[in-house]
Structure 1
Amino acid sequence: MFKPALAAVLVASCCSAKADNIEHISIYANRTATPAQDVLASVTVLERDEIVARQATDLPALLAQLPGINLSRDGGRGQSSGVYIRGGNTGHTLVLVDGVRTGSATLGYKSLAMLPLELIERIEVIRGPRAAWYGSDALAGVIAISTRRAQAVELNANVGSYGQAGTDLSLSHQSGSLQLHATAGISRADGFNVRDDLDSDNDGYRQQFVKLAADYDTTLGLFSAQADVNSGTYQFDNAWSSEDEADTLSRAYFIGWQQQLGGWQHQTRLSRNLDREVTFGPESRSPFNTVRDEFSYQAATDLTETLSWLGGVNWYQEQVSKAAPDFEQTSRINRAAFTALQYQQAAWQLEGTVRRDLINQYGANNTWQLAAAYQLSEHWQARLSRGAAFKAPSFNELYFPGFANPDLKPQESISDELALVYQGDHLHMQVAWFDRDITNLIQGVEQAENVLLASIKGLELSIKQRWQQLGSDFNYTWLDSENHSTGLQLERRPEHSINWRGSYQRDNLSVFVSADYQSSTYQGAFAPVANLGGFTLWGLGGSYQLNDQLSVRAKLDNLLDKDYQTSAGYTTAGINFAISLSYSPR
């Protein structure tokens, strides 16, 4: 049940501070660099400084602090986590890493639990459909991650509760027109027992990652190349088999080129993404290896002073190179073309985008998006959008024995959004109403099935303020979801959620306090508990700049040692601490 008293306290606290006027640039919402306030969608951008300042445990925990996002965990750091944007399934969010489509073709989405925060330079979250720009998977939103490109040497180390420890190093070197970047790190934790009823051991993880990148700027354009390797092991508790540990490996490579020729911007990229997970135990071993090769090209130009155009093509092949058991089909190809027009005149902004995807399993899928904004005054803007999106079934949903349904249809949706935005020197506020109808939603425990119709609607309120040394970030989301075949809520979607973070900074000292509230959630007919109660978590942290080269950070999560669950039956962390050091020689 929603607690209005808590909301009132947090809103009152929120209104005691004001937000600084730092312009953020959206790179992925329109596939070109655009000031965030000019994007006709709900966008949140986190730069490296803010990612570090928030001191989140991992990437899912960081994303759960943002408007319109809730989190479901099967344990602690390293274990499986579901990230739901505006009530969409985990697989309804496209995850881009340095512009490359990522994720397992068998799962149908990117697992974020083992994607290290230490490797991330920037995060851009676009809430709402973006399939007209990116195709399948971008039904509920896009999470676009840019990895580290440090401009100097930086060394970080951290320790924390449950045996948590890690270190990472970033380097950069420039020689004329050639710039090189490298980041490498390791991380581990003993963890805690995530299911008391299944296994008595602690469930931890081990991880190591490395990234190498090069940029070469010439008269023919900017050439880029990059390689990322992220591997590790995590432990879990499993009620369906004896397997309780998994080895993971993610490798991504790309080469790219971009050039400004007269009034035209050209960009092309060729990439390969490999995703491997091998689960094992005393009695069995299950490997799943998938490969995605992708090519994309786009061009953009200003047709007139008020009208701009962007268009391009996209091709990718997904292949299951190894799976246990064998799948009936192991490969599919997607070919697509897209085009967009953007118009800006006086107080008006208009945008239209269409895309056509040809998947060899399903034929054509057409998606589109229309948006308009009107500047009501210097600080106030009204925005309206409608878009169509789809998601193709994953290989597991189509071909995994005992669960698969080869007759599944792609999930399709129509989404609307109406937003009112205030942008001032010290205050940014947005209230957004959204409504999405999904046909052929894929659900199921014993077998994947298409739900004829599901609906999701909700309201987001976000207020960011700064006033002198004080700061406040407040987010509230109301969500109403329904499976029209059963009349029940969709699983693991809380009706109400609140995130608040208040901060104070003076000289070299910065401190913050946070509160996160989530109302009760329906867990499904097959869950150990049909409904989980709501909860509020408090946190406290701070940082101190010891000198120009060295800083220290510390935090306490779950300050009141709240006993709570976000996934029925799975234990979550009690009160826990973390301490980290950053060293960057000048």
Structure 2
Amino acid sequence: MFKPALAAVLVASCCSVYADDIEHISIYANRTATAQQDVLASVTVLEHDDIVARQASDLPALLAQLPGINLSRDGGRGQTSGVYIRGGNVGHTLVLIDGVRSGSATLGYKSLAMLPLELIQRIEVVRGPRAAWYGSDALAGVIAITTRRSNAVELNVNIGSYGQAGTDLSVSQHVEQLTLRASAGVSRADGFNVRKELDSDSDGYKQKFIKVAADYQTELGLWTAQADVNSGYYEFDTSYGNEDAADTFNRTYLLGWQQQLGRWQHQAQLSRNLDSEASYGPDSRSPFITARDEFNYQAQTSLSTSLTLLAGVNWYQEKVDRSSTPYEKTSRINRALFTGLHYQLNALKLEAALRRDLINQYGGQNTWQLAAGYQLTEQWLLRASRGTAFKTPSFNELYYPGYANPALKPQESVSDEIALRFVEQDFSAQLAWFDRDVTNLIQGVERAENVLLATISGVEFSVQQQWQQFSSNLAYTWLDTENKSSGLKLERRPKNTLNWRGSIVEDKWSAFVTVDYQSSTYQGMYASVANLGGFTLWGIGADYQLTPALTLRAKLENLFDKNYQTSAGYTTAGANVGISLRYSPG
């Protein structure tokens, strides 16, 4: 049965989420609101208070603190960052922003380096395939982001090392059935020189964003409209050509609707996403502008007290609107049907999902997901799952001159997971084993090629503990990857990763310590250094409530000024300080 408290929640990939009203709820794992401990998948949810408390410098740095995620950086904040979930490629993760499929059609993925952390209200990370619900790209996992939905006035200002400075403001207004919200912000940094052997300048960034949204409740349902605009500029160093700066411009527009009609809950969303990036130098400029129009509809009902059905349709068209080089083809359309069942009887839980995608370039793709869980005791849950996934090649991989390979096949995978979870009031832990076989994996430097087979397996262990005012979060991942054609490891995937965060919360202040460890990584046969050494980074931070409305926060990252790299040849930030002030009158 549907709970009335969820009637105001625009869930799954159809509408945005009222994250302030729910705690520890997974929205995207099964396209419906489900208590996190009841989801038969590995899910991490960060609400706004969690995000703020961690004081991460940017979104990639925040994600790198979570289980099963590795990060490679081509410099500092603003420069290209690669996020790898459970050993998958960067493009093996689907990024949803307010339920909208996001990313560049030419690159084949969403660049997260220039997505403002200040704009984010909630993050949900689903580790493991979700193509049976979302189609292409959800091969290794899903990162679902909900943008700011503040119910009060909030003003933030921050300064830090390397010339970092920024400010953002969120406001809202309620008028009977109408709710209006707006957020805006700017930030910048001088940065540091990310490749000293190429030039002597610092590589910084500038950014500004604005979001406006309206929700209107009527007898015909809850309607929402939203517009986001995010523009930026960043500098970089590269040995290819003389272009060393880029402008970015991203816009998203959406209309959403949801309504409860009898036993059926209906949701629909229409969206348009434009992704633009133009790199340039003294004598050249290379613009790439892609657009994606998308429509989602889903309906859900309870067939019995034990059985729930969800079904829907998904349509989207991707276009290369403008590029510095001509592409043989500039658009494609994806149409899909999906359905899923959830069954629960006493201690047994069963889930199944099936999706059929029709891509005008490749024809039909079928994906499925099966999961079973058994509640051994009130605290212990044993679960197992298997699922298939695929990713269509990007426009660059298929048509970019000099690199393209029109004969590329979609990447496909079969994934298994077995996990044991323990949950009680102040303590939770999970041990998960996962295994994935990827066929037709796309690799290559000079030309994109399908690799016959790549294998990825690993173990995740995570523990969250609360004892009075103390808390501790530990995440460890062991990863083993192999390109079966060459016998080499997959690039930039460390075998061992460990993240720990300990904190104390008192009446008016709190403090934390972080430790992040990563073992050595293989960088590839064409990298300047084939293997990078492992490293351990320490960080500390604190906040103090000056008044009920005013909070001061400070952090020190890379406490011992460790000299390390996650991408061969690219310098990373040394010891650096950040200070922020938050004003929220309630």
The residue that corresponds to 2:12 in the other structure is none
Q: In the TM superposition, what is the alpha-carbon distance from 1:569 to its structure 2 partner?
A: 0.1
Please show how residues 408-423 of structure 1 align to structure 2 within 5 Å. 408-423=408-423
Q: In the TM superposition, what is the alpha-carbon distance from 1:30 to its structure 2 partner?
A: 0.8
Please show how residues 42-57 of structure 1 align to structure 2 within 5 Å. 42-57=42-57
The residue that corresponds to 1:585 in the other structure is 585
**Residue identity matched to 2:435:** D
The residue that corresponds to 2:156 in the other structure is 156
The residue that corresponds to 1:477 in the other structure is 477
**Secondary structure, in 3 states, of the residue corresponding to 2:510?**
strand
Superposed CA offset, 1:209-236 (max 9, x none): 0000000001110000000000010000
Q: In the TM superposition, what is the alpha-carbon distance from 1:330 to its structure 2 partner?
A: 0.1
The residue that corresponds to 2:567 in the other structure is 567
The residue that corresponds to 2:177 in the other structure is 177
**Residue identity matched to 1:565:** Q
Superposed CA offset, 1:495-546 (max 9, x none): 0000000001111110000000000000000000000000000000000111
Please show how residues 447-466 of structure 1 align to structure 2 within 5 Å. 447-466=447-466
Is 1:94–2:94 an aligned residue pair? Answer: yes
**Residue identity matched to 1:371:** A
In 2, Cα distance between equivalents of 1:42 and 1:584: 34
Q: In the TM superposition, what is the alpha-carbon distance from 1:24 to its structure 2 partner?
A: 0.2
The residue that corresponds to 1:287 in the other structure is 287
**Residue identity matched to 1:302:** S
Superposed CA offset, 1:291-332 (max 9, x none): 000001000000011000000000000000001111000000
Q: In the TM superposition, what is the alpha-carbon distance from 1:238 to its structure 2 partner?
A: 1.1
The residue that corresponds to 1:220 in the other structure is 220
**Secondary structure, in 3 states, of the residue corresponding to 2:547?**
coil
The residue that corresponds to 2:547 in the other structure is 547
The residue that corresponds to 1:13 in the other structure is none
**Secondary structure, in 3 states, of the residue corresponding to 1:109?**
coil
Is 1:115–2:127 an aligned residue pair? Answer: no
The residue that corresponds to 1:276 in the other structure is 276
In 2, Cα distance between equivalents of 1:142 and 1:350: 21
Is 1:210–2:213 an aligned residue pair? Answer: no
Superposed CA offset, 1:465-491 (max 9, x none): 000011000000000000000000000
The residue that corresponds to 2:167 in the other structure is 167
The residue that corresponds to 2:339 in the other structure is 339
**Residue identity matched to 1:103:** G
Q: In the TM superposition, what is the alpha-carbon distance from 1:547 to its structure 2 partner?
A: 1.1
The residue that corresponds to 1:510 in the other structure is 510
The residue that corresponds to 1:25 in the other structure is 25
Superposed CA offset, 1:69-118 (max 9, x none): 00000000000000000000010000000000000000000000000010
Q: Per the alignment, do residues 172 and 23 of structure 1 end up closer, same or farther by CA in structure 2, a change over 3 Å counting?
A: closer
The residue that corresponds to 2:254 in the other structure is 254
Q: In the TM superposition, what is the alpha-carbon distance from 1:351 to its structure 2 partner?
A: 0.5
**Residue identity matched to 1:379:** Q
**Residue identity matched to 2:400:** F
Q: In the TM superposition, what is the alpha-carbon distance from 1:204 to its structure 2 partner?
A: 0.2
* TM-score, normalised via structure 2 length: 0.96
Q: What root-mean-square deviation, in Å, do the aligned CA atoms of Structure 1 and Structure 2 show?
A: 0.6
Superposed CA offset, 1:266-308 (max 9, x none): 0000000000000000121100000000001000000011000
Q: In the TM superposition, what is the alpha-carbon distance from 1:390 to its structure 2 partner?
A: 0.1
**Residue identity matched to 1:305:** T
In 1, Cα distance between equivalents of 2:373 and 2:200: 56
**Secondary structure, in 3 states, of the residue corresponding to 1:195?**
coil
The residue that corresponds to 1:523 in the other structure is 523
The residue that corresponds to 1:537 in the other structure is 537
**Secondary structure, in 3 states, of the residue corresponding to 1:65?**
coil
Please show how residues 369-518 of structure 1 align to structure 2 within 5 Å. 369-518=369-518
* TM-score, normalised via structure 1 length: 0.96
**Residue identity matched to 2:407:** D
In 2, Cα distance between equivalents of 1:174 and 1:242: 51
**Residue identity matched to 2:325:** P
Identity %: 71
In 1, Cα distance between equivalents of 2:497 and 2:560: 19
The residue that corresponds to 1:105 in the other structure is 105
The residue that corresponds to 2:11 in the other structure is none
In 2, Cα distance between equivalents of 1:568 and 1:162: 22
In 1, Cα distance between equivalents of 2:492 and 2:337: 35
**Residue identity matched to 1:236:** F
Q: In the TM superposition, what is the alpha-carbon distance from 1:136 to its structure 2 partner?
A: 0.1
Q: In the TM superposition, what is the alpha-carbon distance from 1:553 to its structure 2 partner?
A: 0.3
Please show how residues 348-367 of structure 1 align to structure 2 within 5 Å. 348-367=348-367
**Residue identity matched to 1:483:** N
In 2, Cα distance between equivalents of 1:487 and 1:365: 29
In 2, Cα distance between equivalents of 1:155 and 1:365: 47
The residue that corresponds to 2:368 in the other structure is 368
Superposed CA offset, 1:553-582 (max 9, x none): 000000000000000000000000000000
In 1, Cα distance between equivalents of 2:215 and 2:360: 35
**Residue identity matched to 1:45:** V
Stretches (4+) displaced over 4 A: none
Q: In the TM superposition, what is the alpha-carbon distance from 1:23 to its structure 2 partner?
A: 4.9
The residue that corresponds to 1:313 in the other structure is 313
**Residue identity matched to 2:71:** L
Superposed CA offset, 1:224-255 (max 9, x none): 00000000100000111100000000000000
Is 1:324–2:324 an aligned residue pair? Answer: yes
In 2, Cα distance between equivalents of 1:171 and 1:509: 26
The residue that corresponds to 1:18 in the other structure is none
Which residues of structure 1 form unaligned runs of 5+?
1-21
Q: In the TM superposition, what is the alpha-carbon distance from 1:121 to its structure 2 partner?
A: 0.3
**Secondary structure, in 3 states, of the residue corresponding to 2:50?**
helix
In 2, Cα distance between equivalents of 1:342 and 1:449: 39
Which residues of structure 2 form unaligned runs of 5+?
1-21
The residue that corresponds to 1:79 in the other structure is 79
The residue that corresponds to 1:7 in the other structure is none
**Residue identity matched to 2:442:** I
The residue that corresponds to 2:557 in the other structure is 557
**Secondary structure, in 3 states, of the residue corresponding to 1:559?**
coil
**Secondary structure, in 3 states, of the residue corresponding to 1:333?**
strand
**Residue identity matched to 2:97:** V
In 1, Cα distance between equivalents of 2:296 and 2:146: 18
The residue that corresponds to 1:6 in the other structure is none
In 2, Cα distance between equivalents of 1:39 and 1:319: 35
In 2, Cα distance between equivalents of 1:222 and 1:26: 21
**Residue identity matched to 1:500:** W
**Secondary structure, in 3 states, of the residue corresponding to 1:397?**
helix
Larger CA deviation: 330-339 vs 22-31: 22-31
Q: How many residues align?
A: 565
**Secondary structure, in 3 states, of the residue corresponding to 1:546?**
strand
In 2, Cα distance between equivalents of 1:296 and 1:474: 37
**Secondary structure, in 3 states, of the residue corresponding to 1:305?**
coil
**Residue identity matched to 2:322:** K
In 1, Cα distance between equivalents of 2:490 and 2:249: 32
**Secondary structure, in 3 states, of the residue corresponding to 1:485?**
coil
In 2, Cα distance between equivalents of 1:286 and 1:437: 36
In 1, Cα distance between equivalents of 2:516 and 2:131: 31
In 1, Cα distance between equivalents of 2:23 and 2:445: 45
**Residue identity matched to 2:533:** G
**Secondary structure, in 3 states, of the residue corresponding to 1:353?**
strand
In 1, Cα distance between equivalents of 2:241 and 2:355: 42
